[in-house]
Amino acid sequence: IYQNYLIKLFFKKIIIATLIFSLLIFILSIFEEINFFNNLNVSFFFPFLLVLLDTPSTLFLIFPFIFLLSTQFLFIELINKNELDIFKIYSLTNFKIIKILFFSSFIFGLFISLVFYNFSSKLKFIYLDLKNNYTNDNKYLASTTENGLWIKDEINNKIYIINAKNIENDYLNEVTIMEFDKNFQIIRNISADKINTKTTTWVIYKPKIAINNVTTKLDDDMILISHFDSNKINTLFENLSSISLFEINSLIKDYRQIGYSTDEISNHLYKVLLLPFYLSLMTVFSSIIMLNIKRSKPMIFHIILGIMMSVIIYYVNYIFSLLSLTGTIPSLLSILFPLFILFIINTIGLVRINEK
């Protein structure tokens, strides 16, 4: 009976906190979307639709802090109703309460990682697809396939379809460029072993140019002005929140084929898969904090404390993520180390927790 009571009460707090954060995300996002579509001819409800599509993916990122605050509000209710004292009378120790909350958080976390994440990624993909139709960069596209990296660019009323085997530092390797007019009538083909894309002024090393089935090899380098440089190419595939778990393995293969680093996508995958442990540790951490502070403290104190803890934990994770992206530490370690720190803190905090 007490287990069902605690789990239901905890679940209720999570739902309430999730709804509150969803509303805050919606309010903050709607102004940005309305401003974006201010000068565009779209339906009044279109920005609201986009916000609804984007909110779940944003919500997924802040679930650890939702669980932290939900645990705080759970203990506030238990303390205000003197139910912690009643539990002790019936031999329900603080450790048993924390254990129930730990496993409940883990099960909720599995649902969020395996079901909610895939649902939110699909909505995020639809959001990006719809919004892309109204961006100025819609005619500048890039994608990866088993045939390498593909780029579509438009320059001075000419359309360029660019295919490269891979990208290595600032260079595209084994490149073919098809140049069309605005009616998609082919003008010429340009091929080269290597192109320097460090800036938007590309340097094509000794290219071969084919016009009307006549191929000419140049002894000098050729210049091509583009909307892309190596930095822009390397940031085209960073919106991983629109990729479901089922599509990540395929994406990793595509990244490796074009020579693009898989560190970021590995970080993303580890974060999704390890989320149940993260949520469980956050719940335990919040429980220990709540059981170690005086019960007379006002609610505003707990809210401020929860926000401060959330900010600190966020920046710890952010620092380790940066260390991973710079190659200082492996991707998996950048995810596991903050969890290990949280685990150690929780382990120390659980010592003599039943005396609180």
**146-155 pLDDT tens trace:** 556 778 888 8
Residue 211 gets the label, from left (phi > 0), alpha (psi -120 to 50) or beta, of: beta
Q: What is the pTM of this model?
A: 0.72
Among 61, 73, 55, CA closest to 14: 73
Helix (H, G, I), strand (E, B) or coil at 153: strand
**What average pLDDT does the segment 234-239 reach?**
57
For residue 333, the SS3 value is helix
* pLDDT, position 145: 53
Question: Could you tell me if 313 and 116 are in contact, meaning their C-beta atoms sit under 8 angstroms apart?
Answer: no
pLDDT at 159: 87
Q: How far is CA 288 from CA 58, 95, 101, 345, in A?
A: 28, 10, 12, 10
Q: Say what percent of the chain tops pLDDT 70.
A: 86
Q: 14 exposed, middle or buried (CB, 10 Å; 0-12, 13-18, 19+)?
A: buried
pLDDT tens digits, 267-323: 788 888 999 999 999 999 988 888 887 766 776 777 787 778 878 888 888 888 777
DSSP character for 242?
A: G
Q: Token pair for residue 171?
A: 């260079």
The stretch 247-253 carries a mean pLDDT of: 72
Check if the beta carbon of residue 277 is closer than 8 Å to that of residue 109.
Answer: yes
Which stretches of 173-330 are DSSP H helices? Answer: 230-234, 245-257, 263-273, 275-292, 299-325
pLDDT on residue 192: 92
